């Protein structure tokens, strides 16, 4: 078995990423075919090639993205689909969630699968926040009309276990009751972030706007979002859920573009990757200098986008 999880060499059963990828491959093939009562017969060999820069365990939903690609591939192959409708996407999401639970043991399988399948930005709100055992979410999709948001995705050289941080947070809440007020302020920042996205989407969706006017609305929205990201990260820092490396990551490219940048650690502050929100009019000519600047400081970086489309047939 070659080309397993972005690797061009032979399959290595001692490589956990290889093993999980192979297990996910066959589980999804079985789920998609048997789930819809289809028997797979083939007399010729075939290959599936999937390339990705998202590592499993990096806090970026890499396993869900991988599973989504496989599930959509098998679904299209078995059903001869040219276009995916909402029912198709719902079925694919179901298969991805099953794979995430059985193979990857992901605690965020619902959130990761929704984003991987449908794309865009989604707001997840616990319908019963006072019941720790229930994880039923109200899900709202926003920002569909906002173009892909350019970011620098940077590995912070830090990795913390979320389970350990959660235990630490529970201990802090018992010792310092005012911690809850900080968490409440974080919720307020998140709600304001959502309001700005919705307002920006409303403004750029007006009829008759020139492209330069849309860009102005986008830039104004980005400025406000950047302020909120700084506030959010400051509150996380107060809770001990941030890391000094994030400040370094934000400051690295400031001299290049002569403006300050707002950044946030992904994965609920668990380290791993951080993203830096770039201006919507950042020219492509800045990409290589940004990546090289991070390399000089021993950080690896990629320029990519948030708020993109989900499953689509190319």
Q: Using one digit for the tens of pLDDT, what is the confidence trace for 122-150?
A: 888 875 555 545 456 788 888 888 999 99
Average pLDDT score over the chain = 83
Q: Where are the domains of the chain?
A: 16-118, 149-306
Average pLDDT, stretch 68-76?
92
How far is the C-alpha of 46 from the C-alpha of 201, rounded, in Å? 44
Residue 136: its pLDDT value, please?
63
Q: In this structure, what DSSP letter does residue 43 have? A: S
For 190-199, which contacts have Cβ atoms below 8 Å and span 24 or more sequence positions? 190/232, 192/228, 193/225, 193/228, 193/232, 194/123, 194/142, 196/221, 196/224, 196/225, 196/228, 197/121, 197/142, 197/143, 197/146, 197/221, 197/225, 198/142, 198/143
Residues 158 and 149: beta-carbon distance below 8 Å: no
How far is the C-alpha of 248 from the C-alpha of 84, rounded, in Å? 43
Q: Which helix (H) or strand (E) holds 286?
A: none
Q: Which helix (H) or strand (E) holds 150?
A: strand 149-159
Full-prediction pTM beyond 0.85? no
List 141's β-bridge partners, or say none.
Answer: 122
Residue 3: its pLDDT value, please?
46
16-118, CATH topology level = Ribosomal Protein S5; domain 2 (3.30.230)
Residue 53: its pLDDT value, please?
75
Q: How confident is residue 9, by pLDDT bands cut at 50, 70 and 90?
A: low
Average pLDDT, stretch 4-33?
77
End-to-end CA distance of the chain: 26
Q: How confident is residue 286, by pLDDT bands cut at 50, 70 and 90?
A: confident
Ranges 21-30, 84-93, 157-166, 215-224: which has the least confidence: 157-166
Residue 163: its pLDDT value, please?
61
State the architecture of 149-306 in CATH terms.
Answer: 2-Layer Sandwich (3.30)
At 269, give phi and psi (nearest 5°): 80, 10
Q: How confident is residue 6, by pLDDT bands cut at 50, 70 and 90?
A: very low
Average pLDDT, stretch 40-60?
71
What's the full length of the chain, in residues? 314
Choose between 133 and 236: higher pLDDT.
236
Q: How confident is residue 64, by pLDDT bands cut at 50, 70 and 90?
A: very high
Residue 229: its pLDDT value, please?
92
Residue 25: its pLDDT value, please?
92
**CA geometry: angle 127, 98, 100, nearest 5 deg:** 85
Residue 50: its pLDDT value, please?
73
* 3-state SS, residue 253: coil
pLDDT at 44 over 80: no
Ranges 54-58, 69-73, 89-93: which has the least confidence: 54-58
How far is the C-alpha of 52 from the C-alpha of 50, rounded, in Å? 7
pLDDT at 299 over 80: yes
How far is the C-alpha of 303 from the C-alpha of 152, rounded, in Å? 5
Percent pLDDT > 90 in the chain is: 34
Residue 134: its pLDDT value, please?
47
How far is the C-alpha of 120 from the C-alpha of 143, rounded, in Å? 7
Residue 94: its pLDDT value, please?
94
């Amino acid at each position: 078995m070659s080309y397993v999880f972005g690797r061009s060499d032979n399959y290595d059963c001692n490589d956990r990423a290889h093993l999980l990828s192979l297990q996910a491959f066959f589980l999804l093939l079985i789920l998609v075919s048997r789930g819809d009562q289809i028997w797979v017969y083939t007399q010729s060999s075939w290959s599936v090639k999937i390339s990705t820069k998202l590592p499993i365990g990096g806090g970026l939903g890499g396993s869900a993205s991988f599973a989504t690609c496989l599930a959509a591939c098998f679904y299209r192959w078995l059903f001869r689909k040219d276009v995916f409708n909402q029912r198709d996407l719902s079925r694919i999401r179901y298969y991805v969630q099953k794979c995430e639970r059985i193979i990857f043991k992901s605690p965020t399988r619902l959130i990761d699968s929704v984003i991987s399948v449908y794309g865009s930005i989604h707001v997840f709100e616990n319908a019963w926040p006072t019941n720790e055992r229930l994880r039923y979410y109200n899900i709202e999709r926003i920002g569909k009309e906002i173009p892909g948001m350019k970011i620098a995705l940077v590995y912070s050289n830090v990795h913390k276990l979320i389970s350990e941080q959660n235990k630490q947070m529970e201990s802090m809440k018992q010792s310092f009751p005012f911690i809850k007020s900080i968490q409440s302020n974080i919720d307020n920042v998140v709600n304001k972030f959502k309001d700005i996205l919705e307002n920006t989407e409303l403004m750029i969706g007006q009829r008759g706007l020139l492209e330069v006017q849309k860009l102005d609305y986008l830039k104004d929205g980005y400025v406000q979002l950047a302020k909120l990201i700084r506030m959010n990260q400051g509150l996380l820092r107060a809770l001990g859920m941030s890391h000094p490396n994030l400040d370094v990551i934000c400051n690295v490219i400031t001299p290049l573009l002569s403006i300050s940048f707002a950044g946030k650690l992904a994965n609920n502050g668990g380290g791993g990757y951080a993203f830096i929100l770039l201006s919507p009019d950042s020219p492509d000519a800045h990409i290589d200098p940004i990546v090289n600047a991070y390399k000089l400081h021993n950080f690896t970086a990629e320029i990519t986008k948030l708020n993109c489309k989900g499953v689509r047939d190319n």
